[in-house]
Structure 1
């Protein structure tokens, strides 16, 4: 139903020049609204959009804002509709000096929902590039202001095209807001984007801002890599730290979408290789993320929570996953699909520490503490593949294991006297690798194709160690087991 409404409004944009036009907005100031995101290893790099600040709404003010290669303009919407906008201050570009022309519709609608008929508001913007001279410049253009719709409603919709990307020959954008002002229900945002390019589809960013006194301000930036005809619905749950998202695209081109939302929560969500249709919910609380969907998707998602040091990447989206992690050395994961891979890292650009878990069905808990005294434990279903890496200061740590056991534990005290303890409930761990070094003075290095242990411990009393061993350990194929004390490596076996 909402898609049909969006199509109808887009069709109207071909004929209707403007609606609900009063006065231009006050001047706004430019800021950067996103930092460059590059990635390493499994993380994929996507460029970042920048947007000028828009917060100072005038009462009943509506205008067109353009920023082209640093040239800022505020144009009354009627002037932009009937005359166009000279975005580059160059009378020799475009058509009669005008570089873009816009069409605008602001339309209240009566929407049928499962709660009955409710009022909704549709904001439609169509932008036509009138020449090729500005085609590859940096352009931000948006419609924004305030309308009186059951109270003051502040809004802003538009798009941003980075330098050296093709500015679309034509862009049609419709935002429909269902605020449920008379109901105890969360607002819904529907965004339909239809770009037309001269050549291949290029990257494009779309911005939506909407707010009123009832449910506050909501800011959504959508980066499309590349931009194709796409409908996205976002329903933020007020006060619950949750959002529901559905995406529908109408092209066979592979697409990645990055959604940056600021409102009841603050989160970046990047989805790669989006299927034609998908719907999911994301719930957030302190160091906790939960994802639910009605189907599995051969797609990847990266989640960044503002204020949290760690970010998470999920490859092959299951129907359900949960993750909880802290900086103190704890990760809890749940998934219903073995194909899913979890990666938790402390940085997008240059991660110095990360955890990777795959081949998991059910729950897994990983605990750790790193130092001259420390431990690593893995508890979960058999078959889990776990890897962790940390390089901080003079500490280096790398661990990998394929678990045929539901419990693995290694603890150490790299002092004199000291010890190393290993337990696997006498079940096998395959392709085991453990490498820890501190200040190039103390360390443990174990490389084995397989091992199993039952409360096995090696200990020493002197600087030049005589190793004493207790418990039981078995190696299917041991390559090395060494301990470093005061800068010297000593073989245990």
Structure 2
């Protein structure tokens, strides 16, 4: 359906007149009859009273145009917006005859057969033309608002936003098709097409969409930069699933950010997106899954409101899923070694950070952080993992290239106490483990290569003599130290 709607809308938009309405001429009457008709019309026009746009209510026909230019907000009747234009800056000396933009609008509902079933669709087409140069680089927002009744009331607001110091496009052709599925138990689908025309290169632009019938949906798409693009969004709020398809008609690099609010709220940022891609996201408080038809050399940043962390995926695989537990449990599956999966509480300066890459298959990471605790990894060989955690007085930082399928570190940092390390005698190519509490108790292990089986170091007193059991081997330098009451003691 995405391609059919896209082709139809592009063809229709190409036929739109610039900034106005279409005119149809007929020559089916004779010359004398035509003159008589003209005279009759002219006499009728003379008798008509003069009507000003100010006499019209801005929403008289159910539609209106809202503009906000550098803080100057106004609502304008749709007919005035089409025939005369809008003075967005309240300055009669700018634009053409004081009007800075002109708008063409079309709203049409229709039905289409999809998978053997008839579905109802609504298409909104807005063509906005900048008439002068004076407002070109100001902050500007324009939207078409109104409602359409078909079985239920369909309220909507669509438009675009241009940031300050970005060029307001000379022309924007925007069309949005909504499939509300009013006769089916299915959430709406949204098809968003935007085609901006700039005087100078490509600039940034945002598309605005608000729609409600039995539920409310708000969507804002930021284009960095804006090029001719079709985006399909299918939120499935019942199971917290989000389906997205993107088709671009330009070869330049582009980042798209999407912000959706409905029964769920989510921000998605896609960097360096390809010409075409489609994928789905499924998530809950403790579960996340990404699925796509292909792999993409693209970065996806996910922020789900209500959760305390971001997720970032570099080099999108066909399939990735992760399951979290509050007690310290993470299951992850990735089908592509190039993929890097990151969870953090902040993109710039995280205090909680976890990343994993070079994994084809599944891995389980378990941890319990405290004076008594553990850190375990079970997964395929070759996985690279980095962890950073700072909560109050607790600090943990690890990095490892896990050639072993199993890694287990557990500890009791009391007096007496112990530290246990096991890799089933398989090598860790590189390992760093730095853990401390209150700068009083801690563990520091750093080695270029390390393997161990049931290795344990134990102590009985505050000034410990370490008893060692099990087996541990390493290549190159190694640091293995225990902090007790603020003092580091070296095991090796």
* TM-score w.r.t. length of structure 1: 0.89
Measured in 2, the distance between the counterparts of 1:130 and 1:374 equals 68
Q: What residue number does 1:347 align with?
A: 346
Contact 1:9-1:174 within 8 A present in 2 as well: no
Instruction: Give 1:364's aligned residue.
Output: 363
Instruction: Report what 1:468 is aligned to.
Output: 467
2:206 pairs with 1:205? yes
Q: Is the 1:311–1:344 Cα contact (8 Å) retained in structure 2? A: yes
Following the alignment from structure 2 to structure 1, what is the Cα–Cα distance between the partners of residues 342 and 175? 36
Asked if structure 1 preserves the Cα contact closer than 8 Å seen for 2:231 and 2:244, the reply is yes
Change (3 A) 1:326 1:89: farther
In 2, the alpha carbon distance for the partners of 1:294 and 1:126 equals 34
CA distance in 2 between counterparts of 1:325 and 1:161 reads 39
Partner of 1:52: none
Matches within 5 A, 1:370-389: 370-389=369-388
Q: Name the residue aligned to 2:7.
A: 4
Deviations 1:104-137 (A, max 9, x none): 0101223232133332110011111111211111
8 A contact 1:352–1:389 mirrored in 2? yes
Taking only aligned residues, the RMSD between alpha carbons, in angstroms, comes to 1.8
* Residue in structure 1 matched with residue 49 of structure 2 by the alignment: none
Alignment size in residue pairs: 456
Do 2:19 and 2:129's aligned partners in 1 also have CA atoms closer than 8 Å?
no
Alignment-derived partner of residue 260 in structure 2 = 261
Q: 178-187 or 114-123, which moves further after superposition?
A: 178-187
Q: Cα distance, 1:372 vs. partner?
A: 2.1
Q: Which residue of 1 aligns with 2:451?
A: 452
1:307 counterpart = 2:306:
yes
| Structure number with larger C-alpha Rg | 2
Give the 3-state SS of the residue equivalent to 1:133 in structure 2.
Answer: coil
Provide the rounded CA distance (Å) in 1 between the counterparts of 2:7 and 2:198. Answer: 23
Q: CA deviation at 1:366?
A: 1.2
SS of the residue corresponding to residue 239 of structure 2 reads coil
What is the distance in 1 between the residues matched to 2:109 and 2:14? 16
Displacement, 1:218?
Answer: 1.3
Partner of 2:96: 95
Q: Is the 8 A contact 2:399 2:432 kept in 1?
A: yes
The residue number in structure 2 matching 1:244 is 243
Equivalent position SS for 2:86: coil
Aligned equivalents of 2:19, 2:133: Cα separation in 1:
25
The answer for unaligned runs of 5 or more in structure 2 is 23-55
Where relative contact order (Cα < 8 A, 6+ residues apart) is larger, the structure is 1
Cα distance, 1:15 vs structure 2:
5.6
Do structure 1's residue 132 and structure 2's residue 133 form an aligned pair?
A: yes
2:48 aligns to what? none
On the 8 A contact 1:236/1:264 being kept in 2, the answer is: no
Q: Displacement of 1:238 after TM fit?
A: 4.3
Name the structure 1 match of 2:156: 155
1:61 maps onto 2:95 in alignment: no
Q: What is aligned with 2:177?
A: 176
Higher helix share: 2
Instruction: Tell me the SS of whatever aligns to 2:203.
Output: coil
Distance 1:354 1:253 in 2: 32
Residue in 2 that maps onto 1:426: 425
Sort the Cα spacing of 1:12 and 1:143 in 2 relative to 1 into closer, same or farther, 3 A.
Answer: farther
* Equivalent residue, structure 1, for 2:28: none
- 4+ residue stretches of structure 1 with deviation over 4 A? none
SS at match of 2:82: helix
CA–CA distance in structure 2, aligned partners of residues 60 and 209 of structure 1: 19
In structure 2, the partner of 1:187 is 188
5 Å-filtered alignment, 1:399-410, equals 399-410=398-409
Task: Give 1:151 deviation, angstroms.
Answer: 2.5
The structural deviation recorded for 1:360 is 0.6
- CA shift, 1:466, in A, is 0.5
Pairwise CA distance, 1:174: 0.2
Q: Are residues 12 and 312 of structure 1, via their aligned partners in 2, closer, same or farther at CA, if it must alter by over 3 Å?
A: same
Partners of 2:311 and 2:223 in 1: CA distance: 20
Preserved contact between residue 237 and residue 264 of structure 1 (Cα < 8 Å): no
What is the alpha-carbon distance in structure 2 between the residues aligned to residue 454 and residue 23 of structure 1?
Answer: 82
Q: Deviations over 1:186-211 (max 9, x none)?
A: 42211100011111211111111111
* Alignment CA distance shift 1:312-1:383 (3 Å): same
Give yes or no for the alignment of 1:142 onto 2:143. Answer: yes
* Distance in 1 between residues matched to 2:67 and 2:420, nearest whole Å: 65
1:358 and 1:2 map into 2 onto residues whose CA distance is 39
Q: Distance in 2 between matches of 1:92 and 1:364?
A: 67
The 2-side partners of 1:352 and 1:10 are apart by 49
Q: Name the CA distance, whole Å, in 1 between partners of 2:258 and 2:72.
A: 27
Deviation at 1:349, TM superposition (A): 3.8
- Tell me by how many angstroms 1:241 deviates: 1.3
**Is the 8 Å Cα contact of residues 269 and 304 (structure 1) preserved in structure 2?**
yes
Say whether the 8 Å CA contact 2:19–2:103 is kept in structure 1: no
**Residues in 1 aligned to 2:473 and 2:166: alpha-carbon distance in whole angstroms:** 60
d(CA) in 2 for partners of 1:429 and 1:314?
25
Larger mean Cα displacement after TM superposition, 363-372 or 448-457: 363-372
Structure 2 residue aligned with 1:295: 294
